[in-house]
Amino acid sequence: MDRITLDANGLTFEALSHGTGDRRALLLHGFPDDPRSMRGLMRRLADAGVETVAPWMRGYGPTERPSDGNYRLDALGADAIGLLDALGWDRAMLMGHDWGALAGYVAANLAPHRLSHLVAMSVPPPRIFARNLIRHPLQFKRSWYILFFQLPFVPEQWLERRDFETLESLWTDLLRTIDGFDDHMHHVRETFREPGTTRAALSYYRHIFPSSIRDWPSYRRSLSLAWQSIECPTLMITGERDPAVGVEMFEDLEPAFEAPHDLITLFGGGHFIQLEAPDAIARAAIDFCGISHEGTSRSP
């Protein structure tokens, strides 16, 4: 697996690259994570003839932190499209987990013609999440950290104490079963040790809400893009035992889509399903996106 550098949307991204083929996939990670959680998926997709790239998201690890401190969803979606430009890809599949899934929903609305398919893991479209949050108030308890992360300074100290011991406790709480847990935690710690990464990762959550009246136009743009009906064929995959985002948050998906869409629930799966079940997710993505298992595309 190779490391590459890409200039996209005004930032310099470092990324993992693997595979060759006539189909392409951009894979985006979430929190608290880095692109190495996508390696299993990348290998399996490469076996099916898919060229794959997984960047460190904006602000994470070796990827540049934006000088304007913008981590809103419209910027994350624009990053995804900018990365396609930097790679010279006219069109690609996008696979995203957690914040990577949210970036994917917005990218699909920014430039639906650039994405052949979207595979979104562990998080539903924002408008569906917001509606189901009212129906299922238990999710407020699951999402406690979102409000906690709005505090200044304290969340940074909490995450960074004793060499990011808290990160490991978050993963332990969110994972059900995973091979190579210690190895992956080593990589996640390595990413978060990069100066500025903790604050950048928390800024994703702090930009969920407008910070001032001056910030309102950018906030409205992000909200509009996140709320639009998605015109890209989309497969959503969630874990049946995800303690961070309950399966009920994926109920009644139809209002969020103007394109074919499907939902797969992995029995016994937790939150980091790309690590827990890479074979099942790769097979589901390959089937949904019309990629043959022998490495040639099926007829559309």
Facing residues of 15 across strands?
4, 55
**Phi, psi of 192, deg, nearest 5:** -75, -15
- Please check whether residue 64 is in contact with residue 13, taking contact to mean a CB–CB distance below 8 angstroms: yes
Residue 96's domain comprises 2-288
Facing residues of 12 across strands?
7
pLDDT of residue 167 exceeding 90: no
- Pairing verdict, β 2-8 and 11-18: antiparallel
> Mean pLDDT across the chain, nearest whole number?
92
- Please check whether residue 16 is in contact with residue 53, taking contact to mean a CB–CB distance below 8 angstroms: yes
- Rounded Cα–Cα distance for residues 170 and 118 (Å): 27
Task: Let me know if residue 105 belongs to a domain.
Answer: yes
- Report DSSP state, residue 160: H
pLDDT of residue 298 exceeding 50: no
- Rounded Cα–Cα distance for residues 214 and 113 (Å): 32
Task: Let me know if residue 300 belongs to a domain.
Answer: no
pLDDT of residue 165 exceeding 90: no
pLDDT of residue 128 exceeding 50: yes
pLDDT, average across residues 55-59: 98
- Rounded Cα–Cα distance for residues 100 and 82 (Å): 15
**Looking at residue 173, what is its pLDDT?**
67
Three-point CA angle 286, 269, 36, nearest 5°: 65
At 249-281, the pLDDT tens digits run 999 999 999 999 999 999 989 999 999 999 999
Binning pLDDT at 50, 70 and 90, where does residue 166 land? Answer: confident
Task: Let me know if residue 9 belongs to a domain.
Answer: yes
Binning pLDDT at 50, 70 and 90, where does residue 300 land? Answer: very low
Binning pLDDT at 50, 70 and 90, where does residue 150 land? Answer: very high
Task: Let me know if residue 295 belongs to a domain.
Answer: no
- Rounded Cα–Cα distance for residues 52 and 35 (Å): 11
Task: Let me know if residue 58 belongs to a domain.
Answer: yes
User: Amino acid identity, residue 247?
Assistant: V
**Looking at residue 98, what is its pLDDT?**
97
**Looking at residue 219, what is its pLDDT?**
86
Task: Let me know if residue 298 belongs to a domain.
Answer: no
User: Closest Cα partner for 23 from 2, 55, 53?
Assistant: 53
Q: Which two tokens stand for residue 44?
A: 């399996």
Task: Let me know if residue 247 belongs to a domain.
Answer: yes
Task: Let me know if residue 297 belongs to a domain.
Answer: no
| 3-class secondary structure, 243 | coil
- Structural domain tally of the chain? 1
At 66-118, the pLDDT tens digits run 999 999 999 999 999 999 999 999 999 999 999 999 999 999 999 999 999 99
Strand extents, DSSP E, the chain: 2-8, 11-18, 23-28, 50-55, 92-97, 115-121, 234-239, 261-266
**Looking at residue 174, what is its pLDDT?**
67
pLDDT, average across residues 170-185: 75
| 42-46, 52-56, 151-155, 218-222: least confidently modelled range | 218-222
Binning pLDDT at 50, 70 and 90, where does residue 218 land? Answer: confident
Q: Which two tokens stand for residue 66?
A: 């934006």
| 3-class secondary structure, 14 | strand
- Please check whether residue 288 is in contact with residue 263, taking contact to mean a CB–CB distance below 8 angstroms: no
- Rounded Cα–Cα distance for residues 149 and 172 (Å): 19
pLDDT of residue 295 exceeding 50: no
Cis peptide before 155 (omega within 30 of 0): no
CB atoms within 10 A of CB 6: 19
Write the CATH number for 215: 3.40.50.1820
At 8-32, the pLDDT tens digits run 999 999 999 999 999 999 999 999 9
